[in-house]
Amino acid sequence: MIHHLSGRLIEKHPTHLVIECAGVGYFVNISLNTYAALPDQEQLRIHTYLQIKEDAHTLFGFWTQTEREVFRLLISVSGIGSSIARTMLSAMTPEQVCEAIGSGNVPAIQAVKGVGAKTAQRVILDLKDKILKIYELDEVSQKSDNTNKEEALSALEVLGFGIKQSEKAVEAVLKQDPSLSVEGIIKLALKNL
């Protein structure tokens, strides 16, 4: 609805800014990445996303179009609201978010406050293909090993083994042969548990 705002910067805070356009002051929620990128000049242009809910109309601002698109993708995932998406874009750059999703890096996404293991996995499952397609990223073989590691850890957890215990066993197996399949990792890790 509101694509961007061009105007005079009135207030600048780590979580929001106020920009005056044609005599109207807009309160715009921002991430720490946008805050860090904002120039000290008075006139600026910021890309926006207007979220409309029953009880509120909330305007979010982004320094780059890429950050706005990543935000839109994140909030399309069940369990990720605008607050968590903004926190994720404050903790990581949009490029880091795309890289973490594209490579299936669950721990990187889970490191964001408010994101649990299941939500992190859902983000990757829902957005991986979109991210790889939109940003033309290639999956690297090393990153697929990380995916194999994560799948093996998930399987061991389902089998009832503790996370720390499973991680030690899987790490030991991968040190010996990093090219193992998920099944191979699980079989050898079970021998060590």
Q: Within this chain, do residues 113 and 71 fall inside the same structural domain, yes or no?
A: yes
CATH number at residue 71: 1.10.150.20
Euclidean distance between the first and final Cα of the chain, in Å?
A: 55
Give the three-state DSSP class for 185: helix
Q: Within this chain, do residues 58 and 91 fall inside the same structural domain, yes or no?
A: no
pLDDT digits (tens, 9 = 90+) for 79-126: 899 999 999 999 999 999 998 998 889 999 988 888 888 999 999 999
Domain count, the chain: 3
Strand pairing partners for 10?
none
By mean pLDDT, which of 77-91, 108-122, 138-152, 179-193 is the weakest? 138-152
Determine the structural domain holding residue 170 and report its residue range.
141-192
Per-residue pLDDT band at 145 (split at 50, 70, 90): very low
CATH number at residue 188: 1.10.8
Residue 151 burial (C-beta neighbours within 10 Å; 0-12, 13-18, 19+): middle
Which one-letter amino acid corresponds to residue 61? G
Name the token pair of 80: 């990720």
pLDDT digits (tens, 9 = 90+) for 10-63: 999 999 999 999 999 999 999 999 999 998 888 999 999 999 999 999 999 999
